[in-house]
Amino acid sequence: MNSIYLSLWDSYADSVLEHWQNRNENGVIFVVLQFGTLKYFGRFGYVNNCFNVSKLFVNSDIVEITSFRNSLLQNSAGSSCSTQSSRLSGMFLSLYDEYVVGSEFVNIAEITLNEVKSVVIVGTVRMIQEELLWYYFACKTCHKKVTKKCDSDEHTVGVLVDQEDVFKFKTETCNNTVIEVVERLKLPLVVQDSTGSVSLTVFDREASKILNTSAKALVDKHAAGGDKALYPDEFDVLVGKKFAFRIDITDFNQKNNFWIFGVSKVIDDADIIFELKKKSNNSEVIHLHKNIFNIHFLTNKL
C-alpha cells in the first residue's frame, strides 16, 4: 500500500480533527481531497489543500470512499468485525506506528554523534535563540537556500537610491540564473527533558505547521514594522510546550562535531508523547540500575 503526506489548514484541518477526536466511534477515517496541490521535497511527495479551492470529504457517502472501504473489507473477509477494524486500522501509517513502534527513542542526554541516523526525543521548548536568524530565502524552483547578490547603494543628485535585491543561484536546475525566491522559516529552539537540553532547528514545513502561519506572513508583518530580523512574538506560544521531535544526526554533525540538529518532523499529540515518555522512564530506570551496579562494583574493588 502506498502512502503520502497530507497537510490540511484552517477549516480543512478542523474537519479531520473532529473525526479524529471521535475515532473510537468512527473507526477508520477515509479522506478524499479534491483540487489539492502536490509538491516534492527531495523524493517525498506532499499534498496540501489549496486555500478555498479544495473540496474535502471525510467519511462521506460518496462513490470513491464507499468503493475503497468495500475493497478493504473484502480483503479482510472472514474475520470478525473487531478484527476487521483492527486490521483496517493497521493498514494505515499511524503516528503511533511511526513514532512509538518504528523509531528509535532516546533521552536528550543519550544523543551521540557516533552514527548517522534519525532518532525521536520528547522535550519542552525552553527558549527561542533570538540571536539566530529565524528565516531564510529559498529558490522557488529547486527549494535550495540562496543568498542575495545586491548592488551597492548609489547616490543620484543627493538622493539615496536603493537597488533592487538580486538573487542568483547555481545548481543543475538553476544554472547561474536570476531566480524567484520565497521566504522559509527556520526556528532555532532550545529543548529540554529531565536528562539535559539540546539545540534544534525546525525548518519551514514543520515550523509552519506548529505556528499555523507562514514565513512570508511573518516577514511581511515585521518588515512593515521596519525590521525583518525582529524576533516575532508569534514564537512565544511555543515556549513551555512539549513536543515529540524526530531529529537527524547527519554526516555534517559528525565531521564538524556540530551539536545543533535539524528536525524532520514534530508533533504535539498528547497520546503519542505519553507513550514515548513511558519509554523515557524505562530508559532512565535502566541507566539508574547500571549506575548502581557500577557503584557496587567499585565499592567491592575497594
Domain ranges of the chain: 5-93, 104-134+182-302, 141-179
Q: Where are the alpha helices (DSSP H) in the chain?
A: 11-21, 23-26, 63-75, 81-90, 95, 204-211, 215-224, 251-256, 270-301
The predicted-structure confidence for 125-164, as pLDDT tens digits, reads as follows: 999 998 888 888 887 777 777 776 654 444 434 333 334 4
78 Rama sector, left if φ>0, alpha if ψ -120 to 50, beta otherwise: left
The conformation of residue 153, written as its DSSP 8-state character, comes to P
- Report field, pTM of the whole predicted structure over 0.75: no
d(CA 150, CA 160): 15
pLDDT mean over 215-224: 80
pLDDT at position 81 is 46
Is pLDDT above 80 for 187?
Answer: yes
- What does the pLDDT average to over 271-282? 80
C-alpha cell at 88: 483496517
What single-letter amino acid sits at 142? C
* 249 pLDDT higher than 80: yes
Is residue 260 pLDDT above 90, yes or no?
yes
The whole-angstrom separation of Cα 1 and Cα 90 is 11
State whether residue 190 is helix, strand or coil: strand
Q: How far apart are the first and last CA of the chain?
A: 60
Question: What residue spans of 76-186 are helical by DSSP H?
Answer: 81-90, 95
Query: Angle CA(1)–CA(50)–CA(205) in degrees, nearest 5?
Result: 70
Selected from 1.10.3720.10, 1.10.620.20, 2.40.50.140, 1.10.510.10, the CATH number assigned to the domain covering 104-134+182-302 reads: 2.40.50.140
Q: What is the band of 278 on the pLDDT scale with cuts at 50, 70, 90?
A: confident
Q: Are 202 and 186 in contact (CB under 8 A)?
A: yes
